[in-house]
Chains A and B, each alone.
Chain A
Amino acid sequence: MNIVIKNGRVVDPANERDAIQDVYIANGKIQSVGDKPSGFVAELSIDASNKWVMPGFVDLNASLREPGYEHKATIESETKAAVSGGYTSVCCLPDTKPVLDTPSVVQLILDKAELAGYAKVLPFGALTVGLEGNTLSEIYALKKAGCVAISQAPKNNVNSQVLRRALQYASTHNMLVILKPEDRVIKDDGCIHDGSVSSKLGLAGIPISAETLAIAQIIELAEETGARVHLTGVSSARAVTMIARAQSTNPAISADVHAHQLHLTELDVGTFDANYHTSPPLRSAEDRDALVAGVAKGVFNVSSGHQPHEAEAKQAPFPSTEPGISSLETVLPLMLELVDEGILDVSQMVSRLAYGPSQTLGLDTGCLSKGAPADICIVDPDETWVVDEEHWFSHGINTPYLGHQMKGKVTHTLVNGHLVFEK
């Protein structure tokens, strides 16, 4: 179908474009931005006046729960949530049941995603069999089946030797390795940042060294093996410094931070509020500010860290609740808040959410270049809305923003030139 998106502010950092222009789409691909191709007849015209037209976002950290945890969420529910939040591609962490460690599970996930017809799903194959940390998965087979990266996340239970060999082997197949930097021995039974709130509430703390030790180990092994490594879900100021320094000598290291870590701190846990039980934990205001500065400088891209849960997962004493926020639908307004505060410009925001993650994964999305897939979101930056269950698409309503007013709403999302979401 031929589609034209008219009169919108087109923000496309990959092509250094930020102007009011029309976008022409044919055969699922970007045909042209600005000039109307000769003979183009639009079958659908979308008026984007006063709106922003951007490449659809690409998520580097989300659990979709299917197969195996359908009581929490399904690929259909979460990819629908994704497109309503402006995402056109979401990764699928390998913590499914069965674990995403064989081509048949990859195929199942890709089939389910296609059937659902919302966002593209990018499977991250498991680094080790069963995510158990012992034996390497068949990484080449996973790559052939459609995995864009391999990952041990959300766990980090591999010892140094297994990790070193995994990085050697992955780099043989030029496969990106996505790791959550967390030393599980230091983390122990910690469930909150090791700081003033943990001290007061008597909750087992997760020291910052749990993150920085793991980062130091990963950086060294990446350097030695030449592997492409991505650190997902960074939480501390010291980590920002370490990663920025490593990137100055090793461009194969990339990283992301979850959008909510740019806003919330340990203080939000208040008195045992399990909606703020996250992994990595919410840290101090100084850490949060350093993460924001890291995003502004381009040290990090931004991921959702989407962890949908059933209600019961949060209905227990704090340490016994499951960590995580259902976040795909709130990333955009949280990022727009940083734009409103003048910390990021719109182009930088799009870069952190779309072009940057796409580049990390080596994809041809995240931009509005001629011939690229027409993965597009259209945003009304001024529309305000209230987070409520009725207008929420994820099956996980575990969000601390329930009842909160947000600014900035996706009005249309196109994937491969198909309109998959319209407000």
Chain B
Amino acid sequence: MSSSKQPASTSFKAPDSSRLQLDEQGRLRHFLTTEGLSKDTLTEIMDVAESFSSVGHQAVKKVPVLRGKTIVNLFFENSTRTRTTFDLAAKRLSADVINLNIATSATSKGESILDTIRNLEAMHADMFVVRHSDSGAAHFIASNVEPHVSVINAGDGSHAHPTQAMLDMFTIRRVKKDFSDLKVAIIGDILHSRVARSQIHALNTLGVKEVRVIAPKTLLPSDTNSLGVHVYGDLRTGLDDVDVIIMLRLQRERMGSALLPSEHEYFECFGLTEEKLAYAKPDVTVMHPGPINRGVEMDAAVADGANSVILQQVTNGIAIRMAVMTLTLGQNKATG
């Protein structure tokens, strides 16, 4: 049989993410993944974020863009950092914010996700910011909400974390101005990283010259090449001539689970030190989504060094989340 045989079911699929994310006019309705979004859409997100980036410096750190809107932070998985930045972004846009930590409430009583969503919709929520340990959770919720409700993916399993990826793109753009000549290396646990997947799609859409991933095989997906990257198992080779280094956070539970032997050996092979940094371009930009395990992913000298933009990433995260909330709720008016 030829491999081009069409399965009988092809025409009856759930909507793919790119169609689900956009309305009929091609505007962003949900923000679930960077995959399938156009360069124009990603650029627009960064442009709107640029216009919001001054709000944090004002005496009154608020704009009235989403006044009267109700945003629900729906966290099925604990996260203080990410939830705080979404919380802050919503408040700076003058929205009303409800933080629900479902990990310790409804679902432990057996309520299904759909029941939770229906209840919150009945309270006239306008937006759900969703974090869940299952890949596909934000997509599932977006497929089931009422037409006026927007969903922002704040991290689903190992699938996607698009606002983190876009704040990284925003940070890169602010430092490097142009994407087209960049070689970017992503280092660490690609297999379990929703951040890496979203970054890879965004970097390729924005037209960088090359995306590399550097990791041991135990931390790589089985078909990494299909993601559109070059794979390296050796840090020094992989860093050669690189413009941007993105370190990934390594979960401590990966240690001693046959994925990795020890923190010591990981640091020796894949940890970023000043000595290894020298293999990259002199003006290389070093990024990390935080929180850093110093001495595991990178040593302190690199984390706090001149090439590091780690704290700028945090600041930029708020502007990016303000931009995505504004765009998805259809209030696309930059307030500069």
Contacts and interface: CB of A to CB of B under 8 A. Distances in A.
Interface of A: 194-196, 198-205, 207, 263-265, 267-268, 270-273, 276, 285-286, 289, 292-293, 312, 315-320, 334, 337, 341, 343, 400-404
Contacts of A205: 221-222
Interface string B1-17: 10101011111111111
A195 B156 CA distance: 19
B113 A316 contact: yes
28 contacts: A198-B223, A200-B35, A201-B159, A202-B156, A202-B157, A202-B159, A202-B160, A202-B194, A203-B135, A203-B136, A263-B9, A264-B9, A265-B7, A267-B7, A268-B13, A271-B13, A271-B136, A272-B135, A273-B13, A285-B3, A293-B1, A317-B136, A317-B157, A318-B135, A319-B135, A337-B8, A403-B12, A404-B9
B223 A195 contact: yes
B114 interface: yes
A292 B1 contact: yes
B112 interface: yes
Contacts of B112: 312, 315-316
Contact of B13 (A204, A270, A289, A334): A270
A29 B210 CA distance: 72
Interface residues of B, number: 41
A199 B136 contact: no
Contact of B15 (A268, A271, A292): A271
B3 A286 contact: yes
Contact of A272 (B11, B14, B132, B221): B14
A67 to B, nearest CB: 23
- Return the 8 tightest CB-CB contacts between A and B, nearest first: A202-B158, A199-B221, A272-B136, A317-B134, A202-B159, A317-B137, A318-B136, A199-B223
B84 interface: no
Interface of B: 1, 3, 5, 7-17, 20, 35, 112-114, 132, 134-137, 139-140, 144, 156-160, 192, 194, 197, 221-224, 226-227
B7 A289 contact: no
B3 A319 contact: no
A316 B140 contact: yes
Given A203-B158, A317-B135, A317-B137, A343 B223 contact: no
Nearest to B132: A317
Contacts of B11: 404
